[in-house]
């Protein structure tokens, strides 16, 4: 293993200068910095991350907390966060709450002490708990709005309005919304947008739930939908929608012709489902990447967004699970 002394001798500088090149490069002139880094690269020298962390008071780690690692939406988000962290030369710690809201605060608090900053995806803890955690480590929120805390929001309003407009154009006179988790900011946004769009089209609005974003939730919701005579349903996410489609198939209800189903997220499963799922596309990967960039700005003492939320758009992707209402045909 190449040592810092060997790099110093080869570059013609002191070991302390080599150390500063990797820990505080801004205090070393550009010519010396370039010479040291070229020598380090040629010799294969890698700074001791633990020693460097102790010296500069940084761990070199970021943290990411999500509700469910297995959910396709969060899988895409996780990958994007990991790519951004790696490009910044940082390691990433990932943990999930498994949709257990009460486990979230102690989990985040424990991780906050081990990382330089955190990205919290769809957190459901109270505002006061988040503000307490911000005092421990810099935090960026995804799909949660809190004054004074950097956030990336995917409001879904445009996409949900497009979904209801689509159903209205197909002749449906009512819509059922399969609601997501009760304390979810995203669920509140989607419910409000759907209800408002139904009112605008003079369509009836019915809500069932709340449901956890799991396949089994959709399976459980399907029979009540059939009993209610629903012709159109919008699920909180694709996973619930796919559960509905599976159960409808078992009940020999023709998806599209007898009941139109719309999901949210546009996960990879949506396009390969049978039939392919009409869904509202939510840019999960972009949200993860933007969140890490905002966090890196915070760590560097910059506030590039002026503390305002960064909002990303959504749009409807029409596939085969929606069709004219039976009465319209």
Mean pLDDT of the chain: 91
Taking the C-alpha atoms of residue 237 and residue 153, their distance in angstroms, rounded to an integer, is: 16
% of the chain residues with pLDDT over 70: 93
Helix intervals (H) in 230-300: 238-250, 268-272, 284-299
Residue 297 scores a pLDDT above 60? yes
pLDDT for position 18: 86
What pTM was computed for the model? 0.78
Name the pLDDT band for 54 (thresholds 50, 70, 90): very low
Instruction: Please indicate whether residue 81 or residue 4 has the higher confidence score (pLDDT).
Output: 81
Taking the C-alpha atoms of residue 227 and residue 181, their distance in angstroms, rounded to an integer, is: 23
Q: Shortest CA distance to 129 belongs to which of 114, 117, 112?
A: 112
Retrieve residue 285's tokens: 């990967």
Chain segment 130-168, per-residue pLDDT in tens: 999 999 999 999 999 999 899 999 988 999 999 999 999
pLDDT for position 50: 46
Burial class (CB in 10 A: 0-12, 13-18, 19+), 261: buried
Name the pLDDT band for 58 (thresholds 50, 70, 90): low
Q: Out of 26-30, 83-87, 205-209, 244-248, pick the least confident.
A: 26-30
pLDDT for position 306: 66
Residue 186 scores a pLDDT above 60? yes
% of the chain residues with pLDDT over 90: 72
Residue 264 scores a pLDDT above 70? yes
Residue 71 DSSP one-character state: S
Task: Spell out the domains of the chain, with CATH numbers in brackets.
Answer: 4-56 (1.10.260.40), 61-154+284-311 (3.40.50.2300), 157-282 (3.40.50.2300)
CB atoms within 10 A of CB 161: 18
- Do 232 and 263 contact (CB within 8 A), yes or no? no
Retrieve residue 37's tokens: 């880094």
Taking the C-alpha atoms of residue 168 and residue 164, their distance in angstroms, rounded to an integer, is: 6
pLDDT for position 56: 44
pLDDT for position 57: 47
Taking the C-alpha atoms of residue 89 and residue 160, their distance in angstroms, rounded to an integer, is: 38
Residue 175 scores a pLDDT above 50? yes
pLDDT for position 55: 47
Chain segment 61-103, per-residue pLDDT in tens: 999 999 999 898 999 999 999 999 988 888 999 999 988 889 9
């Amino acid at each position: 293993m190449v040592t810092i002394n060997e790099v110093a001798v080869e570059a013609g500088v002191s070991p302390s200068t080599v150390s500063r090149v990797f820990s505080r490069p801004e205090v070393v002139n550009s010519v010396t910095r370039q010479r040291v880094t070229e020598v380090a690269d040629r010799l294969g020298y890698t700074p001791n991350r633990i020693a460097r962390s102790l010296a500069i008071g940084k761990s070199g780690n970021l943290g990411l907390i999500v509700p469910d690692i297995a959910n396709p939406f969060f899988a895409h988000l996780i990958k994007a966060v990991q790519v951004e962290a790696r490009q910044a030369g940082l390691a990433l710690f990932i943990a999930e709450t498994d949709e257990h809201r009460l486990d979230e605060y102690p989990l985040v608090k424990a991780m906050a002490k081990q990382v330089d900053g955190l990205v919290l995806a769809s957190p459901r803890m109270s505002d006061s708990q988040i503000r307490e955690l911000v005092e421990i480590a810099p935090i960026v929120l995804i799909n949660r709005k809190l004054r004074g805390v950097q956030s990336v929001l995917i409001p879904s309003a445009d996409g949900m309005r497009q979904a209801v407009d689509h159903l209205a154009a197909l002749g449906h006179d009512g819509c059922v919304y399969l609601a997501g988790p009760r304390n979810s900011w995203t669920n509140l946004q989607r419910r409000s947008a759907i209800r408002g769009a139904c009112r605008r089209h003079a369509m009836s609005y019915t809500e069932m739930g709340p449901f956890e974003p799991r396949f089994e939730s959709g399976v459980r919701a399907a029979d009540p939908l059939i009993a209610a005579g629903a012709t159109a349903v919008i699920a909180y996410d694709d996973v619930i929608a796919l559960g509905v489609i599976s159960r409808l198939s078992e009940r020999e209800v023709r998806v599209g012709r007898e009941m139109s189903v719309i999901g949210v997220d546009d996960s990879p499963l949506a396009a390969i489902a049978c039939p392919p799922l009409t869904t509202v596309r939510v840019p999960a990967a972009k949200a993860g990447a933007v969140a890490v960039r905002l966090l890196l700005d915070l760590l560097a003492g910059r506030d590039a967004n002026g503390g305002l939320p960064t909002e990303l758009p959504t749009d409807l992707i029409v596939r085969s699970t929606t069709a004219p209402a039976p009465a319209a045909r």
